[in-house]
A and B are shown apart, each in its own frame.
Chain A
């Protein structure tokens, strides 16, 4: 299952993660986020224990994180590696595009 990242665990779980991390910035009131959500879940299951981590940030509850990474449009999926964002996709995406970004970071 996709992990839940918050302001409190973001450093430990994402920035200091030994493996690349895919982070889905979303909110409950965002229609297109509901479409990408299930795809992110699928990817989380597929890559569980296989060299990558996948999780979600609710921007409603973690506004500071959204602000820190300049998120002004959601859904936004960011790829983190070695504590840095290395990829970003804004708007609904097909699963292949998300996988492409993930594999590039691995």
Chain B
């Protein structure tokens, strides 16, 4: 039986791995097929302390991963397929592999929210993307719409504008949610035009196999119109990655894992850290901080088990 299994490999997962490994808990980290989390699809990270000149998202995650490895965390790329927290030891299952542990840290993070319309599925990767740094390159001198009004929408729009000839930012309400610095940066960009009070009803182009435009509905007038464009980048928020834990770990009404005393879930010995339990801050540094807290909490929990034994 292991001391600790960490599920998920973003800033929260790796930070808890570093702390747990240094405490000689020899944690096993299920990174999944996709390690690094949301920062893998960003460019420059300017607000992570310790990097005065900024650092690229993937580089930061590569560093965290190396740091966890250096202290002996065991990293595996299997996807966890189910968990059993009904009895001690806890079981974490990945295909045929069954691992047992005294404690578990859930740090599965969150993924990009989609619009949830059929034409979106049909044209995903054919002009629709949620990763500007990956795909903006394919829209040189083209017209692109970015959907969203928060910081990530501003970042995506500014990045896409380096390539595209024109970028529309489609905002659902009458104002931006973005921080002032990010909004101003986008507003100053001559290629970016903001359209407020609109919702995307349909992505056009299923007939030809790539995006040719969007059907927009004005939420004030109710009028529908078509906006011609070659691509759509989504930045409409996040959904916590909790599918494995539904019915097992308590979730709040928005679907995030409920925690008390910072990282404790309703199951003693199972902790949660990072975006999967944080609908409020959602920063790399807060995720890392809660990953640290979860590792310390797991460590204390194990010490208590040993005292009782």
Contacts and interface: CB of A to CB of B under 8 A. Distances in A.
Interface of A: 27, 29-35, 59-60, 66, 70-76, 90-95
Interface string B111-147: 0000000000000111111010111011100000000
Nearest to B209: A70
B34 A71 contact: no
A30 to B, nearest CB: 4
17 contacts: A29-B137, A31-B40, A31-B41, A31-B57, A31-B58, A31-B133, A31-B134, A66-B138, A71-B138, A72-B125, A72-B127, A73-B126, A73-B128, A73-B131, A73-B135, A76-B125, A91-B125
Nearest to A97: B33
Given A32-B40, A76-B125, 15 more contacts: A29-B133, A31-B36, A32-B41, A35-B40, A66-B138, A70-B126, A72-B125, A72-B126, A72-B138, A72-B139, A74-B135, A91-B125, A93-B33, A94-B77, A95-B33
Interface of B: 32-36, 39-42, 57-58, 77-79, 124-129, 131, 133-135, 137-139, 209-210, 231
Nearest to A60: B137
B40 A94 contact: no
A79 B133 CA distance: 25
Nearest to B142: A72
B129 A73 contact: yes
B137 A59 contact: yes
Contacts of A72: 125-127, 129, 135, 138-139, 210, 231
A72 B40 CA distance: 18
Contacts of B35: 35
A66 B139 CA distance: 12
A29 B41 CA distance: 10
B34 A35 contact: yes
Contacts of B33: 35, 92-95
A70 to B, nearest CB: 7
A71 B138 CA distance: 8
Nearest to A75: B134
Nearest to A33: B134
Contacts of B127: 72
Contacts of B57: 31
A73 B32 CA distance: 21
B135 A94 contact: no
A85 to B, nearest CB: 13
A73 B125 contact: yes
A43 to B, nearest CB: 14
| B58, B124, B125, B127: residue with the most chain A Cβ atoms closer than 10 Å | B125
Question: Can you list the 9 inter-chain pairs with the closest CB atoms, starting with the nearest?
Answer: A90-B125, A31-B40, A94-B33, A73-B125, A31-B58, A92-B34, A30-B134, A72-B138, A73-B135
A60 B78 CA distance: 30
A94 B138 contact: no
Nearest to B35: A35
Contacts of B137: 27, 29, 59-60
